[in-house]
Amino acid sequence: MNSPTGRTSAESQPGPARPADGGVASATSATSAASRGHRDVVRGNYSSAVLLGAAVAFLGGAFLFNWYLNELRQMMPSGGFVPMQYNTALGFVITGLAVVAHCLGRPRVAFVAGAAAAGLGSLSLAEGLLGHSVHIVGALFGGSIAGNSGPTMSVNTSLCFALTGALLVTWRAPGARKRWRTAVLGSLAAGVVSVGFLGLLGYVTHEGGTYGWARMSAMEAHTALGFVALGTAFFVMLMRMKDSPVVGTLPGWSAWMVGIGVAVLTMTLWTSLTASDARTSQLAETRLHSAALSHTNQTVQSHLRALKRLALRCKGEGRVRPSDFGADASTLLEETPGLSSIAFIDPGGNVFGAQGLHDDRTLEMSIGERQEVRAALRMARDERLTTSSDPVSLFGPTTDLFVFVPVYVGDTYRGALVCEHDLQPFLDWIFGDGVGRTFDVDVCTLNGQPFYSRRGGASARREARASAAAGASGVAAQEAADGRIGFADKVWIMSSLADVTVVGGKNVSNTLILWFGMFLAVALAFVIRKSGLVRQRAVSLAVANRTIEERSTSLRVANESLRATESELTRAARAQRRVLDSLSAMLIGVDDEGRVVEWNSVASDLFGLGDAQVLGQVFDDLPLCWDRECVREAVARCIATGERLRRENITVTPLPAQEALRGTGTGMTADSVDSAGAEEDAAMDADATEADAAAKVPAESAQSRVVSITVNPTQTGGGRGFAIIGSDVTERQMLEMQLHQAQKLESVGTLAAGIAHEINTPMQFVSDNLRFVSQSVMPLTSVLQLIPELVDCSRNGVLPTELAARLELATHGVDVAFLADELPAALDEMQEGVNRVTTIVRAMKDFSHPGNQGRQNADLNKAISTTVSVARNEYKYHADVETDFGEIPLADCYVADLNQVFLNLLVNAAHAIKDVVGDGAGRGTIRISTRLDGDMIEIRVADTGAGIPEHARSKIFDQFFTTKGVGKGTGLGLAIARAVVIDKHKGSIRFETELGKGTTFIVRIPVSSQPEDNEGGPRAAPAASTSAAAGEPSDLSIPHDAAPQFPAANPHAVVDPIPVSGEPQP
């Protein structure tokens, strides 16, 4: 229970002004959810304290009001009760309002009020203890009450107020340690409650000591009740206080118990207080006596003290000055009710300095004429005691007393202070208000002389009582032995008789009080019930909360499982997505309505369109840059037949980013896209016809890819849905191209060593001859210089010896004959060597120069010659090459590729011959012939080798098939040759072989290549030509189906439905 409380208080506003600081403790089991309910609970719980405080304030206010109206009897439960003092009532108003203020969140007001109450209480306490009134409260009320300097608050009441004020101050005191403060507050409240309760209990049990302390004044019953209520309010507040020791430990029903207990107690007390029987009335009379007597005594004593002080002052002066005396006397007269006049009597009996109602003469006459007054004066003078006369009637019905205070200086009698004491208002004040109308009161002197009588109740009874009192005053005096009033030297006996009839009947004021108590109890019960209700509501709210919590928990569990399922599904979908995305194949799924439902990342990359742009779109409307017609045809066929279709070598160009946006974002029409795509396709086709097909892919946009697709029906039973699965064959094509290139390099590499030899050898003799020439010509120059002179001499016919000597010197050591023979030969050989080098280098260039990669009209005879030159070193030690070139037109061909074909065939032939002749001296012959056969050029390469063995014949065109040793051949040469001839040139290649005689390869190349019909069966024509060429029995023309295919040369090759086609793909 604690932790929820803590949580609640933690959630409440932490302001110190908030009474909710106290928490909701017992009332609620911490329904965190209901902050509104929580506030209700707080208000309800505090409202009990508020109500209690209000009741207390109301009590005090009611008494104050009645004080003001002087209708105090209305408030008293019975006639014998002393009314609550007005300062007590004021204190209750203050403290009650303080409690209310505190509970309503005005702790500062409560603090101030508490301080006031504490001041009031402590001052009153001091007053009571010192017996010295300072009339604090009297000043507040002005004339109505101030004139009546009645008894002050009783001591215990003062104490209670002091405690209450201290409590309120402490409550608000800052910095106090919470634990200690709580303890202090608790003990203070306990003190207030216990004092009040003791007083109340005393009234019930007639133990006067519990409410009337030190026989001074007694706490009034209402006051006791008020303090009980006040203390209860404090307890309630304490219980609400945070960290209060009583908080949390008390169960919920304790509030009920407290309410019921207070109500029952109040009812009981008041019932017993107002119950009337003889005993009760006697006791009430006794109480009346003691109360009234103590009151009277107190008042009289105070009068006497005032007189004595005045007398003392006169004595201190030595000589009484009329002026001074007059001032003091008039002050005393104002302060003391009941004093009619004050005067000084000198030893001669002269009165002077009279103040008050009577002047000197009147007083002199009264004192001198009245026997009992003179006796009293004499007694005062002789006995040196303050004495009083018997009551005398001076004017009319009033009963006066003369009080004499003798003044001695040393032993010298200087006179006496006399004051005329009018007892009537005094007694009226005491008995009239204090006793009420339910009692008859008679006051008589000890010698039985009555001087005061007051009759409550019916007049008949009053008469009876008067006679009875007159007749039996002694009895009465004896009966009321306690009822004495000592006044100076006089003792009066007071008797009172309860008016039974009146007492027995319920007084209106009693009923009021009862109602008040009832109201209090009901209000308390209501408050407590309300708090209980709130608590109950809180409990039920808590239960509801718990239910809600349980439900929400189960809901959360359900939610979590749902979320788990969802995330499972999401994960599965994501996993599927990942799987689809991780496919290296393009996947496009289209549903029955022709809308795209699958579009994996490969497709996104290929087309440059994200799946967000594509999914849900109509497939035909997508701006895809590929061969739309081909795909559309395949899709239509697939849908129509339900077969799986395959299309090869479709070039896909990704849409540029901005175009992709335009295409989908601004609603680019399908037609425009389509036409754009078609144009592009047309352009691509045009390119394809011109450019080297193998180089086509890299020649286009770097991002273009080549894909092979299959169109798969996804709906059984001829639905319209289909899936296009495409594999990116760009790399494969690249690899095949690279393989092709590698083979080319390999053949070139094979040639390289031979070519180096072919170059190095001429270089050797060229450099030798050059050296020779340069060495030889050097000495000849001097001879040449002599020639003009020789010419001159020859003209003259005389050869001077000098010249002959020089000539001899110049030609000395020059082998002229040798030079004459050798120099021209050397120059010739140099020329020849240079020619050889030039030839071979040019052949190399012709053979594989990057510049002639494209398709061109080429002279195949020249190409063959070049190849023969290049390969010379491969065959020259074993074989002779004979060429028989026919008249052939220029062929439209890829001449570089054909060069490679010829080289491969030539090298194969040379190797075949070398295998036969070995290193011996024998030589073979390679015969190369060309001729025109219709529109085909036929090239035959025949060797005199061993022929192709039977088992190898079907495999020689396979890739990687080789009969050469490891490291000697890759087995690619003939495969490449076949690919070049058949796939690139639509020609044919076959061979005729005879074991032991040799092999002839026959290559047929069309003179001009027709535009390829891409959409048809592109391989039909060459296949036919191939088979047409197969005439001889030994013809091993390659079966078309087994042909390895290099797809770059054959864009958009149609592959028949896979189930139908058993054709292995290369």
Partner 1 sequence: MNRILFVDDEQRVLSGLRRQLHARRASWEMQFVDGGLAALAELARAVAAGMPYDVIVSDMRMPGMDGAQLLARVSSEFPHTGRLVLSGHADPDRMQLARSCAHRYLQKPCPPETLEAEVKQAVEVREALDRLGWEAACAVWCSPPKHFEHCASVFAALASEADTDDVVAGLLASFTHDTAFWARLGLVLAAAFPAQVRPGAGAAATIAAMGTRNILSLVMALRFSDAFGGPPDASRQTADLVVAQHIAAIGACENSGLEALVQAVTASMLRLPLTAPTAPTAPTVPTVPTAPTAPTAPTAPAEAGAPSGAAAAADRSTVLSWLLPTWGFKDAVVAAAACREAPALCPPATSGPLVLLVGADLLLSFSDPAVPPDEAFVGARMAWLGERGWAEPRTRWAAAASACARKNSSENSLT
Question: In the range 805-864, which residues lie near partner 1 by CB under 8 A?
Answer: 815, 818, 822, 825-826, 829, 832-833
CA distance 1065 to 161: 115
Judged by CB, which is closer to partner 1: 756, or 805?
Answer: 756
Judged by CB, which is closer to partner 1: 615, or 827?
Answer: 827
> 722-732 burial by CB neighbour count: b if 16+ within 10 A, else e?
bbbbbbbbbee
Residue 832 beta carbon to partner 1: minimum distance, rounded to whole angstroms: 7
CA distance 804 to 918: 62
Dihedral (CA of 188, 191, 193, 199) sign: negative
Judged by CB, which is closer to partner 1: 10, or 825?
Answer: 825
Pair 293, 494: CB distance under 8 Å: yes
Question: In the range 590-609, which residues lie near partner 1 by CB under 8 A?
Answer: none
Q: Which amino acid is at 71?
A: E
Residue 180: how many CB atoms within 10 A of its CB?
Answer: 10
Pairing of strands 879-885, 924-933: parallel
Question: Which window, 191-199, 662-670, 755-763, 1050-1058, contacts partner 1 (CB under 8 A)?
Answer: 755-763
Residue 926 beta carbon to partner 1: minimum distance, rounded to whole angstroms: 16
Residue 928 beta carbon to partner 1: minimum distance, rounded to whole angstroms: 21
Question: Which window, 66-74, 582-590, 721-729, 749-757, contacts partner 1 (CB under 8 A)?
Answer: 749-757
Residue 916 beta carbon to partner 1: minimum distance, rounded to whole angstroms: 15
Residue 877 beta carbon to partner 1: minimum distance, rounded to whole angstroms: 5
655, HSE (Cβ side, Cα atoms, 13 Å): 24
Q: Which amino acid is at 344?
A: F
Pair 658, 634: CB distance under 8 Å: no
Residue 702 beta carbon to partner 1: minimum distance, rounded to whole angstroms: 38
Residue 613 beta carbon to partner 1: minimum distance, rounded to whole angstroms: 55
Which DSSP string corresponds to 869-890? Answer: HHTHHHHTTTEEEEEEE-----
- Which one, of 240, 249, 245, 261, lies nearest residue 534 by Cα? 240
Per-residue binder mask for partner 1 (CB under 8 A), 922-941, x = binder: -x------------------
| Residue from 669, 764, 835, 883 in contact with partner 1 (CB under 8 A) | 764
Which DSSP string corresponds to 206-249? Answer: T-HHHHBGGGS-B--HHHHHHHHHHHHHHHHHHHHSTT-TTTTT
Judged by CB, which is closer to partner 1: 455, or 872?
Answer: 872
Residue 843 beta carbon to partner 1: minimum distance, rounded to whole angstroms: 17
| Residue from 115, 201, 763, 890 in contact with partner 1 (CB under 8 A) | 763
Write the Ramachandran bin of 759: left for phi over 0, alpha for psi from -120 to 50, otherwise beta.
alpha
Judged by CB, which is closer to partner 1: 465, or 836?
Answer: 836
Pairing of strands 450-454, 439-445: antiparallel
Judged by CB, which is closer to partner 1: 920, or 1011?
Answer: 920
| Helix, strand, coil percent values for the chain (each to nearest 5) | 60, 15, 25
Which phi and psi (to 5°) does residue 670 adopt? -60, -35
Residues β-bridged to residue 406: 416
Judged by CB, which is closer to partner 1: 254, or 776?
Answer: 776
Residue 846 beta carbon to partner 1: minimum distance, rounded to whole angstroms: 22
Residue 50: how many CB atoms within 10 A of its CB?
Answer: 23
CA distance 683 to 681: 5
Question: Which window, 34-42, 437-445, 765-773, 1004-1012, contacts partner 1 (CB under 8 A)?
Answer: 765-773
CB-based burial label for 651 (10 Å; 0-12, 13-18, 19+):
buried
Judged by CB, which is closer to partner 1: 744, or 836?
Answer: 836
Give residue for tokens 């005398």.
392
Residue 769 beta carbon to partner 1: minimum distance, rounded to whole angstroms: 5
Residue 1031 beta carbon to partner 1: minimum distance, rounded to whole angstroms: 38
Question: Which window, 107-115, 658-666, 730-738, 752-760, contacts partner 1 (CB under 8 A)?
Answer: 752-760
Residue 637 beta carbon to partner 1: minimum distance, rounded to whole angstroms: 57
Angle, helices 253-274/178-205, rounded to nearest 10 degrees: 30
Question: In the range 766-795, which residues lie near partner 1 by CB under 8 A?
Answer: 766-769, 771-772, 775
Element (H, E) at 55: helix 35-69
Judged by CB, which is closer to partner 1: 501, or 835?
Answer: 835
Q: What is the DSSP letter of 533?
A: H
Tokens of residue 144, six digits = 């109505």
Which DSSP string corresponds to 714-758? Answer: -STTS-S-EEEEEEE-HHHHHHHHHHHHHHHHHHHHHHHHHHHHH
- Which one, of 610, 605, 603, lies nearest residue 631 by Cα? 603
Residue 786 beta carbon to partner 1: minimum distance, rounded to whole angstroms: 23
Judged by CB, which is closer to partner 1: 60, or 833?
Answer: 833
Question: Which window, 177-185, 565-573, 753-761, 793-801, contacts partner 1 (CB under 8 A)?
Answer: 753-761
760 counts as binding partner 1 under rule CB under 8 A: yes
Judged by CB, which is closer to partner 1: 10, or 827?
Answer: 827
Residue 784 beta carbon to partner 1: minimum distance, rounded to whole angstroms: 20
Question: Which window, 157-165, 474-482, 602-610, 761-769, contacts partner 1 (CB under 8 A)?
Answer: 761-769
Residue 1003 beta carbon to partner 1: minimum distance, rounded to whole angstroms: 30
Residue 850: how many CB atoms within 10 A of its CB?
Answer: 7
- Which one, of 209, 198, 216, 215, lies nearest residue 269 by Cα? 198
Residue 765 beta carbon to partner 1: minimum distance, rounded to whole angstroms: 3
Question: Which window, 300-308, 756-764, 886-894, 933-941, contacts partner 1 (CB under 8 A)?
Answer: 756-764
- Which one, of 645, 525, 57, 598, lies nearest residue 260 by Cα? 525
| Residue from 361, 757, 964, 968 in contact with partner 1 (CB under 8 A) | 757
Judged by CB, which is closer to partner 1: 68, or 877?
Answer: 877
| Residue from 753, 784, 995, 1024 in contact with partner 1 (CB under 8 A) | 753
Q: What are the C-alpha distances in Å from 325 to residues 313, 317, 717? A: 9, 10, 140
Judged by CB, which is closer to partner 1: 183, or 825?
Answer: 825
Judged by CB, which is closer to partner 1: 580, or 759?
Answer: 759
Residue 941 beta carbon to partner 1: minimum distance, rounded to whole angstroms: 23
Judged by CB, which is closer to partner 1: 327, or 834?
Answer: 834
CA distance 1046 to 1066: 8
| Residue from 286, 302, 331, 761 in contact with partner 1 (CB under 8 A) | 761
Judged by CB, which is closer to partner 1: 876, or 953?
Answer: 876
Judged by CB, which is closer to partner 1: 701, or 760?
Answer: 760
Residue 770 beta carbon to partner 1: minimum distance, rounded to whole angstroms: 9
Q: Which amino acid is at 1033?
A: P
Judged by CB, which is closer to partner 1: 346, or 822?
Answer: 822
The site for partner 1, by CB under 8 A, has a size of 31
Question: In the range 882-921, which residues lie near partner 1 by CB under 8 A?
Answer: 919-921
Angle, helices 86-103/107-130, rounded to nearest 10 degrees: 160
Question: In the range 47-86, which residues lie near partner 1 by CB under 8 A?
Answer: none
CB-based burial label for 237 (10 Å; 0-12, 13-18, 19+):
buried
Question: Which window, 48-56, 501-509, 541-549, 759-767, contacts partner 1 (CB under 8 A)?
Answer: 759-767
Residues engaged in binding partner 1 (CB under 8 A): 753, 756-769, 771-772, 775, 815, 818, 822, 825-826, 829, 832-833, 877, 919-921, 923
